[in-house]
Amino acid sequence: MTRAKDLLLRATNPTATVFVLLVLVFAAVFAMNPGFFQGPSLMAFLKQAAPLVILAAGQYFVIVSGNFDLSVGALVGAQVVIAARLIDGEESRTAPVLVAMVLFGIGVGLVNGLITTALKVQSFITTLGMLLVLYGAIRLWTGGAPTGSLSESFRVFGRMGIEDVPVLGQIPWALLIMIAVGAGSVLLMRTRFGRVLMAAGDNERAAALSGARVGAARTLAFVLSGLSATIAGVLIGGFAGVSAQVGDGLEFTVITAVVLGGVVLGGGRGSVLAAMAGALVIEALFTLFNQMALPATLRPAVQGAIIIAAVAYAARRRPVPTATATPTPS
């Protein structure tokens, strides 16, 4: 009896649901285009999906601790533009510029985190402000259109991979980086930091009274999000090149992905793998739209519908929250 109930609860658990969805969307893609699952095209798909998946991991840390990070799209854009302007086609500048980008990503995360935790500004406002500041500052700096260009060695991460692998063709660096980020995130959530972050997202007061440094943990989550945006920026820049629109609207896509992964807004719930799987579902869905020849302009509307449906679903299946629903066995 309890086992059957457990199974039912587990299958309809939002965290598990996203993996079911992933299988369904992939099945639909396969039905439309059986060739999709050949090595090279699958690898191409994963290469393209990697930045969003990595952003989802970063956003997960922020959301699970009870905040939002709306600034990631603008940060991705800023990083690409900064890279192009500073490298300006010079191979020798690649490494120092990468270091500068990492520091900038950490800096933006720190500012987001400190304003939110020390000044007690709601993260929605903090990061919305950061989005606008980054957006405006970059346009001011570049005079409206991005200048300079990326070096070849910079573009390797987003474009290249281990070549000439049997069956698969190319194993993209982006995929390997994505796997590393995923593994690192899973491990991080198992550390004391991860546990404190989760507890703080669930009940800030209880965590603080247990001695947790809630503010520090949340700030670190923003830093991780800034780092994920930096990595995503490197990959997207390498893959797609430089333009003024890079990163536009990515914050909403990534939040949709994390919510689809069953990570409850407000914090304290959900797994990082499910959040990353949510990003894969969205990318697969966009692929499906391409195959169905639906216009790309439909995407925002679909994202909006998904985000509402996912939250509504999570709210509906939450079991009866009274203590009476589970009588104490004796």
Partner 1 sequence: MSATAPLLAMRGIDKAFLGVPVLSSVDLTVARGEVHALVGENGAGKSTLMKILAGVHTADAGTIELDGRAVSFTHPLQAQHAGVASVFQEFNLLPELTVAENVHLGREPKRRGLIDRRAMVDATAAVLADLGVEDLAPTAKVGSLSVAHQQITEIAKALSQGAGLVCMDEPTAALADAEVELLYRLVGRLRERGTAVLYVSHRLKEIFDLCDRITVLKDGRLVDTTATADTTPDDLVAKMVGRRIEAQFPAPLPGTAPGEVRLKVAGGGNDWVDGIDLEVRAGEIVGLAGLQGSGRTEIAEAVFGIAPFTRGAVEVDGRPVRITGPRKAIGAGIALVTEDRKAQGLALRQSVRANARMVLDANARVHSRRRLARVSGILSSLDLVARGEDQEVRFLSGGNQQKVVVAKWLAAEPGVIVLDEPTRGIDVGAKHKLYSVVRDLAAEGLAVLLIASELIEVIGLADRIVVLHDGRIAGELPGGATEQQVMAYATGRAPE
Give me the residues that bind partner 1 (CB under 8 A), please. Answer: 1-2, 5, 192, 195-196, 198-199, 202-203, 205-213, 268-269, 319-330
d(CA 171, CA 160): 8
Identify whether the C-beta of residue 14 lies closer than 8 Å to the C-beta of residue 314.
yes
Give the residues across from 162 on adjacent strands.
171
Smallest distance, partner 1 to C-beta of residue 120, A: 17
For partner 1, the closer of residues 95 and 206 by Cβ is 206
Instruction: Indicate the Cα dihedral angle 150, 154, 159, 163, nearest 10°.
Output: 140
How many Cα atoms within 13 Å fall on the side-chain side of residue 88? 4
For partner 1, the closer of residues 92 and 326 by Cβ is 326
Tell whether the torsion through CA atoms of 185, 187, 189 and 194 is positive or negative: negative
For partner 1, the closer of residues 220 and 250 by Cβ is 220
d(CA 55, CA 225): 7
Identify whether the C-beta of residue 9 lies closer than 8 Å to the C-beta of residue 319.
yes
For partner 1, the closer of residues 53 and 217 by Cβ is 217
Smallest distance, partner 1 to C-beta of residue 303, A: 27
Smallest distance, partner 1 to C-beta of residue 194, A: 9
Smallest distance, partner 1 to C-beta of residue 211, A: 4
Smallest distance, partner 1 to C-beta of residue 114, A: 19
Smallest distance, partner 1 to C-beta of residue 261, A: 16
Alpha helices by DSSP H, listed for the chain, are: 2-11, 14-32, 39-64, 72-87, 94-117, 123-142, 152-159, 173-190, 192-202, 204-209, 214-240, 250-260, 272-291, 299-316
For partner 1, the closer of residues 38 and 210 by Cβ is 210
Entry field: residues in the chain: 330
For partner 1, the closer of residues 245 and 322 by Cβ is 322
